[in-house]
Amino acid sequence: MKAKKPAQGKTADAVLNRPELFINWQLSQLEFNFRVLAQAVDASTPLLERLKFLCITDTNHDEFFEIKVAGLKQKIITGSVQTGPDNMAPADTIKEIAVRSHALVAEQFRVFNEALVPALSREGVRFLPRTEWTARQREWLRAHVNHVMPILSPVGLDPAHPFPRILNKGLTFIVALKGKDAFGRQGNMAIVQAPRSVPRVIKLLQNETGSGPSDFVFLSSVIHEFIGDLFPQMEVVGCYQFRVTRNSELYLDEEEIADLRRALEGELLSRRYGDAVRLEVADNCPADIISFLLDKFALSQDDLFQVDGPVNLHRLMAVYDLLDRPDLKYQTFTPKIPRKIARKINMFERIRDKDVLLHHPFESFVPVIDFVSEAARDPDVLAIKQTLYRTGPDSAIVEALVAAARAGKEVTVVIELKARFDEEANIALSNRLEDAGAHIIYGVVGYKTHAKMILVVRREEGDIRKYAHLGTGNYHARTSRLYTDYSFFTCDREITEDVHRLFLQLTSLGRVGKLKKLFDAPFSLHDSLLSKIERETLHAAKGQPAGIIAKLNHLTEPGIIQALYRASMAGVKVQLIVRSTCSLRPGLPGISDNIEVRSVVGRFLEHTRVLYFHNGGKPEVYCSSADWMVRNFFRRVETCFPIERPELRRKIIEDLECYLKDNSQAWVLQSDGTYRKLGPGAAEPFSAQTALLEKYSRPTGEA
C-alpha cells in the first residue's frame, strides 16, 4: 500500500513559502493550554469545573513534554537540523518552549494557590497543610499511613545502593539524612517512591477526625510528616517531593517487525524509563539537591520547574470525583435521542428511511451502540466490520462485537494498536476479540488507522444491503459525553460501497482506486481538499460569491495553508474554527486579510471536523476524521464523507453559525500568534455550546 507524497510543485509558492507566514506548531499547541487555563480563572465557570480545567492543563502539559519536547530533544541529540515551514531549528524551539512553559506553570500555581484554594475554602472544600492538623486528625492520618508505609521501599544512596530508576511521572521524595545507619555508616540521602496504586488525595472522614465534610490532605504531606518512620535511629533533615517526566514516544521499526503486537508489548515497558525531559521539584528544595537531581537525570536548568504545591496537579481530579456538590459543577443534562429514531423498530429501519446525523454530546451516543448491538443480535446480519482507535473500558460496542463473533457472524475489527497512551488497552482488546473468533487487523505498517467507520452487511428480501456509520470521533461512550462529534448513518449504495472498499484496502492491502463519494487519506484527501479550495478561489477571482468554513482541531499542513492564503488573496471569505494548533497567520495585509481563525474553549472539548464550501451557491458540507496536518494527510488512514441530505446540511451549517457567533468562549488568533478573548461588549452574550445544549434539548422529531 503506497501513499502519495505531497506534490511540492503543486503546493509550493515562492511568495507564500516564507517562514514568517507560519506559526511554529509546537508553540501554538502550547498556547492552547493558556486558553484552557483561562477557564480555571473564569468566575462564571462553576468552581469545581475550574479545578477540573486546571487539572486538564496539567495533563496536557505532561503529554506535551512526553511527546513533543521529547521529540525535539531527540532531534537535537541526533544532530538533526530539520525545521518546519516556520524555519525554527529544534534548539531554538526548545528555548522558546522553556520560556512559555515556565510562564504556564507559574500561572497554574498562582491560580491554584491564590484563586482556587481560597474560593474552595469559602465553599467548605479545604486542603489542610500539616501545620493545621489537629491532634485527632494527625492520629487518624498516622493510622492511615501505617497501611502505606509497608509498601514503600526507601533506597539509601551509597556505592551499594545506586540511584534507583525513577518511574515516569511518579511521585518521588528525596530525603536528606543525618546520623548513622544500622551498619554504622554516616547517612546522606535516600529516595522514596510512592506507589501509583495509593491515592494522592485523602479525604478526611468527618466522624473520625472531627474535620469538615470536605477536608482533604495530600499524600505528599502525609508521607512527609511520617517519613522518619522509614529511617529509624536517623534524623530526617529534609524531605522534598519531585517528579521526572520521560520520553514516552514509542520507537518501532515496523518494516522489520514480524509481530507488531508482541513488539509493542515489549516497547511499552521501556516507556516508563525513557530519557528524562523535565524535572519538577518542590520550591523549597535546596539548590545542592536540585543540582544533584538535574545531574542524575542529565537535565539543564531550563528543564527544571520549581512548584509551590503538589508536583502533579492532575491528581486533584480525584477531588472533583469525590465531591457530590452539584452546586459547584455544571448542571447535568441528558443527551437526547431524536424521536424519529426512538419510535422506529430498529436502527436499520430508521436508516433505510433517511440518513441520520447526530451531534454528540448534545444528542445521545446510544444509537451508535444500538447500531452495533442490533447488528450483533439480528439473524439477518451476515458481517460487521469496524475500526477501533479508542474505546474505553467496559465498552458496550466491544461487548456487542464479541457477542456477534461468538454467534458465528463474520466480525472484522481493525484495531489501531499505536493509539497513543491507549496501546496497552488496545492490545488487551485485540486479544479478547480474537479469542471470541473475530478477525483482527492491526492496520497498515507505517500508517495509523484513524478513520472511524462501521459497516454492517445484512440480508434483506433475497438481496444484500450495506449499512454504514461514519464519525468524526472515537467509539468511546465516556468521551462522547465530553467531546463534540458528529455521527452519520447511511445505507446510500455509493457511500457504503466506498466504506466496503476501504475495509478491503485495510485487510487485503490491495489498492481499491478512486472512491465514488468519500475522500481517503493517505490517497485522495489532500488533493481533493486543495481542489475544493481552488474552486472557491476561482469563483472569487471571477467576482462570484465564495466562502470556506472549516472546523478542526489542528491546522498545520503547509500546502493547505498556502492554498487558503491564495483563496484569501482572491477575495474568498475564510472562517476557521481551530480548537488547538494553528500555523496559519490570519490578518496579514495582502495575504490573509480575509481569513479569521477562532478557537472555542468551553465545557466540551471541541472535536468535530467539519468542512463547508460555498460552491457557487450549491453548498457542500463534509465531515471528517482528519485534521489538516501532515500526519493526517500522509501518514494515517482517514475518511472524509459528504453530508448530502439538505436538512442535515442545514443542521451542520446552523451549528457552525453558532460557533461563528460565539462572543463568550471564543478566542481570535492575531497575526503575531497570540489569541484575544472575545467579549460580548454591548451585544448579548452568546455561547455556542450553551446555545447548542438549548437547541438540542427542545423536542424534535427529526434526526
pLDDT at position 272, please? Answer: 61
- In CATH terms, the fold of domain 8-12+519-697 is Endonuclease; Chain A (3.30.870)
pLDDT digits (tens, 9 = 90+) for 75-118: 998 888 878 899 999 999 999 999 999 999 999 999 999 999 99
Question: What's the burial of 596, exposed, middle or buried (CB within 10 Å: 0-12/13-18/19+)?
Answer: middle
Question: What does the alpha-carbon distance between residue 311 and residue 240 come to, in Å, rounded to a whole number?
Answer: 10
> 381: part of which helix (H) or strand (E)?
strand 381-388
Question: What does the alpha-carbon distance between residue 517 and residue 532 come to, in Å, rounded to a whole number?
Answer: 14
**Comparing C-alpha atoms, which of 604, 628, 470 is closest to residue 553?**
628
pLDDT at position 83, please? Answer: 84
pLDDT digits (tens, 9 = 90+) for 666-682: 999 999 999 999 999 88
Q: Where in the chain is the domain with CATH 3.30.870.10?
A: 8-12+519-697, 339-508
Taking residues 146-163, report their average pLDDT: 84
Is 60 exceeded by the pLDDT of residue 263? no
Question: What does the alpha-carbon distance between residue 364 and residue 358 come to, in Å, rounded to a whole number?
Answer: 8
Is 90 exceeded by the pLDDT of residue 236? yes
At 638, the amino acid letter reads E
pLDDT at position 430, please? Answer: 83
Identify each DSSP E strand in 570-701 by its residue range: 573-582, 595-600, 605-606, 610-613, 620-624, 636-642, 666-669, 675-677
Question: What does the alpha-carbon distance between residue 328 and residue 696 come to, in Å, rounded to a whole number?
Answer: 24
8 A C-beta contact, residue 612 and residue 550 = yes
> 652: part of which helix (H) or strand (E)?
helix 646-661
Instruction: Please give the grid coordinates belonging to residue 681.
Output: 461588549
Is 50 exceeded by the pLDDT of residue 611? yes
Identify each DSSP E strand in 207-318 by its residue range: 214-218, 235-246, 276-282, 304-307
- Of 44-58, 246-260, 334-348, the one with minimum mean pLDDT is 246-260
In the chain, % of residues over pLDDT 70: 92
pLDDT band of residue 150 (cuts 50, 70, 90) is confident
Question: What does the alpha-carbon distance between residue 333 and residue 318 come to, in Å, rounded to a whole number?
Answer: 22
Taking residues 636-648, report their average pLDDT: 97
pLDDT at position 219, please? Answer: 94
Instruction: Please give the grid coordinates belonging to residue 593.
Output: 486579510
Q: What's the per-residue H, E or C state across 485-554? A: EEEEEECCHHHHHHHHHHHHHHHHCCCCCCCCCCEEECCCHHHHHHHHHHHHHHHHHCCCCCEEEEEEEE
Concatenated DSSP letters for 654-689? HHHHHHHH--SSEEEE-TTS-EEE---TTSPP--HH
Is 90 exceeded by the pLDDT of residue 8? no
Give the distance, in angstroms, between the CA of residue 179 and the centroid of all CA atoms in the same chain: 49
pLDDT digits (tens, 9 = 90+) for 34-62: 999 999 999 999 999 999 999 999 999 99
Q: What Rg do the C-alpha atoms of the chain give, in angstroms?
A: 27
pLDDT digits (tens, 9 = 90+) for 193-235: 998 888 999 999 999 999 999 999 999 999 999 999 999 889 9
Q: Which comes out higher in pLDDT, residue 431 or 358?
A: 358
pLDDT at position 148, please? Answer: 86
Q: Which long-range contacts (CB under 8 A, 24 or more apart) does 138-141 make?
A: 138/225, 140/204, 140/205, 140/208, 140/209, 141/202, 141/217, 141/222, 141/225, 141/226
- Of 1-5, 371-375, 655-659, the one with minimum mean pLDDT is 1-5
Question: What does the alpha-carbon distance between residue 97 and residue 59 come to, in Å, rounded to a whole number?
Answer: 17
Concatenated DSSP letters for 120-146? HHHTTEEE--GGG--HHHHHHHHHHHT
Residue whose C-alpha cell is 541526533: 78
Residue 455 C-beta-side C-alpha neighbours within 13 Å: 26
Tell me the CATH architecture of domain 128-318: 2-Layer Sandwich (3.30)
CATH superfamily of 339-508: Endonuclease Chain A (3.30.870.10)
Q: Count CB-CB contacts under 10 A for residue 574.
A: 22
pLDDT digits (tens, 9 = 90+) for 598-609: 999 999 999 999
At 304, the amino acid letter reads L
Question: What does the alpha-carbon distance between residue 513 and residue 523 come to, in Å, rounded to a whole number?
Answer: 9
pLDDT digits (tens, 9 = 90+) for 487-500: 999 999 999 999 99
Q: Where in the chain is the domain with CATH 3.30.1840.10?
A: 128-318
Regarding beta strands 573-582 and 547-555, do their DSSP bridges make them parallel or antiparallel, or are they unpaired? parallel
pLDDT at position 391, please? Answer: 86
8 A C-beta contact, residue 371 and residue 347 = yes
Q: Count CB-CB contacts under 10 A for residue 330.
A: 14
Global pTM reads 0.92
Residue whose C-alpha cell is 471564543: 666
Q: Which comes out higher in pLDDT, residue 703 or 476?
A: 476
pLDDT at position 446, please? Answer: 84
Is 60 exceeded by the pLDDT of residue 12? no
Concatenated DSSP letters for 445-492? TTBEE---EEEEEEEETTEEEEEEEEESS-S-TTGGGTEEEEEEEE--
Question: What does the alpha-carbon distance between residue 418 and residue 412 come to, in Å, rounded to a whole number?
Answer: 18
**Comparing C-alpha atoms, which of 395, 423, 593 is closest to residue 480?**
395
Question: What's the burial of 332, exposed, middle or buried (CB within 10 Å: 0-12/13-18/19+)?
Answer: exposed
Three-state secondary structure call for residue 164: coil
**Comparing C-alpha atoms, which of 414, 394, 408 is closest to residue 437?**
408
Question: What does the alpha-carbon distance between residue 201 and residue 214 come to, in Å, rounded to a whole number?
Answer: 12
Taking residues 444-448, report their average pLDDT: 85
> 295: part of which helix (H) or strand (E)?
helix 287-296
pLDDT at position 462, please? Answer: 85
List active site positions. Answer: 450
For residue 13, give Cα distances in angstroms to 8, 18, 109, 563: 9, 9, 45, 9
> 377: part of which helix (H) or strand (E)?
helix 366-377
Is 80 exceeded by the pLDDT of residue 29? yes
The mean predicted confidence, pLDDT, of the chain is 91
pLDDT digits (tens, 9 = 90+) for 387-443: 998 887 788 999 999 999 999 999 999 988 766 666 777 778 888 899 999 999 887
Taking residues 258-271, report their average pLDDT: 52
pLDDT at position 602, please? Answer: 97
Q: Which comes out higher in pLDDT, residue 575 or 146?
A: 575
Question: What does the alpha-carbon distance between residue 475 and residue 587 come to, in Å, rounded to a whole number?
Answer: 38
Cα angle value 247/581/588 (rounded, 5°) = 140
Is 70 exceeded by the pLDDT of residue 593? yes
